[in-house]
Amino acid sequence: MARKRTIGDIALLAGVSKATVSRVLNQKPDVDPSTRERILRIVEEEGFVPSLTAAGLARRHSHLIGVLVPSFTWPMVPDIVCGVAEAIGLTPYELVLYSINDKTRADGKGDVIDHILASDLVAGLLSILPGLPAKHVIRLHQYGFPVVMIDDRELPSDVPWISADNQQGAYEAVYHLLKLGHRRIAHIQGPVDLYCSRQRYQGYCRALEDYGIPVDPTLVVEGLFRRKSGMEAAQKLFSLPQGQRPTAIFAASDDMAYGVIAYAEEHGIRIPDDLALVGFDGISSSAHVRPPLTTVKQPFQEMGRQGAKLLISMIEHAHRQRAYIPPGAGKHATLLQPEDEQVQQIHLATSLLVRASCGARQSQAVSSIEQVT
């Protein structure tokens, strides 16, 4: 196999110094046009690919961006990463993926964050759903390292953040069920220690309040965002006396809604004839269950795109500022912005995908019911 060409090889073939080759590759203007043309021709002929890491070190500006992801078995993660890749693909930056398993995410250890800081490889970090290790991501930001978080347990006050508008999305889902005539609407929450779960619960409550309906605590059950917890919640709700059972359920995740569908199938409950159902997330499989699930779609790809764009703007700003490096923070760490500049926190709009699972019950005559497919 042929040896990979180096910048020194290109300089030797062109009869110039390595510094001149570097200036051409970095599009510096102070190179003779004929020399520039000769170097670029040799680069193309030799198939030379510059090392982004080496170029970043030489300029004190890495073109590698770290992306911290939980398990790829999480259905939304591939879509978020796809959006990140789309945005990065339009820039000179490249991605470095750091994976964090469910155990590490749950116990809150910061080993991977320490590795990112110690390796001094990436210019910034995009942290997707970090879980308990989020406190270590926040520590990176406090050191001055460029960090953007995409959704998590809490809305941090001082870290750039991208999320869906969970409260408004939940409000629109429940309001839709109310317009269909439902009044006993149950809510299967996500874990109550999660910011997004509390926001979706608040949207549920706000929609009921707008219709003058008090929240019935017996119709609110906590789940874990997983299918099994959706089945368990459905069992609790349908163990209520006949007149107290819900006619509709708003589940705070599509996975929990799938659990409700499974429970309904086992117990002869017809969806949507006996029970209307709405989920939250808008993952692709929601269109293929039976019946197809009405759901609140989160803009996962756009969250990834916006997160990547925001992070790159922070990195470029920090590079231009040639800012102060705190002791022990790593040589790429920088102060990102003036103290009086507001940290960007972006909530992106959701959309309600209306499908067959929320159709009005055939046994109930309700005026002004919308046509639901």
pLDDT at 364: 37
pLDDT at 98: 86
What average pLDDT does the segment 249-271 reach? 98
Using CA atoms in the order 7, 8, 13, 19, what is the torsion angle rounded to 10 degrees?
80
Q: By the 8 A CB rule, do 68 and 304 touch?
A: no
Q: What is the pTM of this model?
A: 0.75
Structure tokens at 221: 């059950």
Range scoring the smallest mean pLDDT among 35-39, 162-166, 222-226: 35-39
pLDDT at 2: 54
Q: 149 pLDDT exceeds 60? A: yes
pLDDT at 103: 66
| Residue bearing the bigger pLDDT, 297 or 44 | 297
Among 58-67, 80-89, 148-157, name the most confident range.
Answer: 80-89
pLDDT at 104: 58
Tell how far CA 39 is from the center of its chain: 42
| Residue bearing the bigger pLDDT, 125 or 338 | 125
Q: 273 pLDDT exceeds 60? A: yes
| Residue bearing the bigger pLDDT, 247 or 26 | 247
Q: 108 pLDDT exceeds 60? A: no
DSSP letters spanning 191-257: -TTSHHHHHHHHHHHHHHHHTT----GGGEEE--SSHHHHHHHHHHHTTS-GGGS-SEEEESSHHHH
Domains of the chain listed by start with CATH number: 8-50 (1.10.260.40), 64-164+301-321+343-348 (3.40.50.2300), 166-298 (3.40.50.2300)
Per-residue pLDDT of 179-233, as tens digits, reads 999 999 999 999 998 889 999 999 999 999 999 999 999 999 999 999 999 999 9
Reduced to 3 states, what is the DSSP secondary structure of residue 279?
A: strand
Phi, psi of 149 (to 5 degrees): -105, 140
Per-residue pLDDT of 200-214, as tens digits, reads 999 999 999 999 999
What average pLDDT does the segment 279-305 reach? 96
Q: 56 pLDDT exceeds 60? A: no
| Residue bearing the bigger pLDDT, 214 or 371 | 214
% of the chain with per-residue pLDDT over 90? 53
List 309's β-bridge partners, or say none: none
Q: 340 pLDDT exceeds 50? A: no
Is residue 57 very low, low, confident or very high in pLDDT (cuts 50, 70, 90)? very low
List 188's β-bridge partners, or say none: 221, 251
